[in-house]
Structure 1
Amino acid sequence: MTIHEFFHGWTANRCGDPTARLQGRLTLNPLAHIDIMGALCFVFAGFGWGKPVPINPNNFRTPRRDNMIVSFAGPASNFISAFLFGMVFQLLRNIPLPSNLSTMIFNLLITMIVVNLSLAFFNMIPIFPLDGSHILEGLLPYRLSVRYKEIERYGPFILLGLIVMGNFTGVSILSLVLGPPIKYFLKLFSGLS
């Protein structure tokens, strides 16, 4: 979450919005990005969230375009992180290491790839408050984007419903949708078949 939120703030700053920087949120310190309620939900319910970096689209030079770019920066940073962890994984596979150490390192690297791919693809879902909703809003013609924005208040409930429904029914729609691209890129980045 730290890298994801940092790149939202960094990109917003580059697009003309200094809000995150002025509030001390343009940092890689994970403590600055922890949301207490999100952390508690993660511990007790298996899902959580970080504290979103504050962004003021009124400061952007080109608000619709820049909001899309800033929204895309978070998932892109997760995707790039997954790729980099995959490169490290593939490099270390060719180096002889003690088996107990290599197992621990490889499991950690695979976990980091999966976590970052999961964050990247999950955040691209076009349901508010996820990044994908802001990207879709910017891609829609203006009249449709206004109508889309009107229903964003229902987004958190839809998202929560999808998460809870998967926990109660044992059939996770999110896993069905996100699982295939995550598995594909895990194999691609790690070199595992």
Structure 2
Amino acid sequence: MDSVIQTIAVYAIPLIFAITLHEAAHGYVARMFGDPTAQLAGRVTLNPVRHIDPVGTLLVPILILLAAKLMGVGGLLFGWAKPVPVDFGRLRHPKRDMLWVAAAGPGVNLLMAIMWAIGLKLMIESGVQEDFFLGMAAAGVRVNLMLMALNLLPIPPLDGGRIVFSLLPNRLAWQYSKLEPYGMVILILLLATNMLGFLVAPVLALGNGIVRLFL
């Protein structure tokens, strides 16, 4: 049980900030492109309390970590925060600007993965031997790359789905958007059939390759 608690403690800070900053980035970029909805709702902030969803940010990741530790298997660690409200109609160029608002979240996750990796390298080179802090930095890399990869899946309403919508011609984009009510069902089916790991693997590999450029 002690090892389970330690694992949760190691992942807690990286996961909370990975999810929190992901959502804050959406609101910040939306504000840049003309939509103040998230700012008016107090969601353009780095305060985790404003973004935490008790189920998605805490319960689901903890259950995944518990299952992985107790069963001795790896798994896709994921979670979610309270969605930042974005009124795409208030963006200066709604369809075009949607791409940048959507890409902001995964982009911040990649940036955080790089920062955690640099921190890990600096700790190792300076002789830090505390397993807790080394483990936290390594977890920060893994968590952020996983959230980036999951969110870039081209399934609406995930960020990847928004990006695809923005890039498609108008008629195809509106047809594609009809998938959105079924997005969560598609995601669960992919997870249940073990296809989710296969689909995110290329993006994870790319993310790992980018992180290594800074080491």
TM range (shorter): 0.7 to 0.9
- 2:85 and 2:115 map into 1 onto residues whose CA distance is 27
Matches of 2:115 and 2:25 in 1, distance apart? 16
- Equivalent position of 1:24 in the other structure: 42
2:204 matched to 1:182? yes
Query: 1:35-184 residue pairs with structure 2 within 5 A?
Result: 35-38=53-56, 39-44=58-63, 47-97=78-128, 99=129, 101=130, 103-163=131-191, 165-166=192-193, 172-183=194-205
Query: Is this contact kept in 1: 2:154–2:160, CA < 8 A?
Result: yes
- Over the matched positions of the two proteins, sequence identity in percent amounts to 37
Does residue 32 of structure 2 align to residue 14 of structure 1?
A: yes
Note if contact 2:187-2:196 (Cα within 8 Å) is conserved in structure 1.
Answer: no
Give the letter aligned to residue 22 of structure 2: H
Counterpart amino acid of 2:155? I
Q: How many residues of Structure 1 are paired with residues of Structure 2 in the alignment?
A: 182
Structure 1: tracts of 5 or more residues without a match: 167-171
Give the whole-Å Cα distance in 2 for the aligned partners of 1:27 and 1:132. Answer: 23
1:135 CA displacement: 0.3
Q: What TM-score results when the alignment is normalised by the length of structure 2? A: 0.77
1:136-189 CA-to-partner distances (Å, cap 9, x unmatched) read: 0011111100110122211111112222x15xxxxx212222235425644663
Partner of 1:169: none
Contact 1:110 1:190 in 2 (8 A): no
CA RMSD across the alignment: 2.0
- For residues 45 and 93 of structure 1, the distance between their equivalents in structure 2, rounded to whole angstroms, comes to 28
Q: 1:114 & 1:92 partners in 2: Cα distance?
A: 17
Structure 2 residues not aligned, in runs of 5+: 1-18, 66-77
Query: What's the CA shift for 1:91?
Result: 2.0
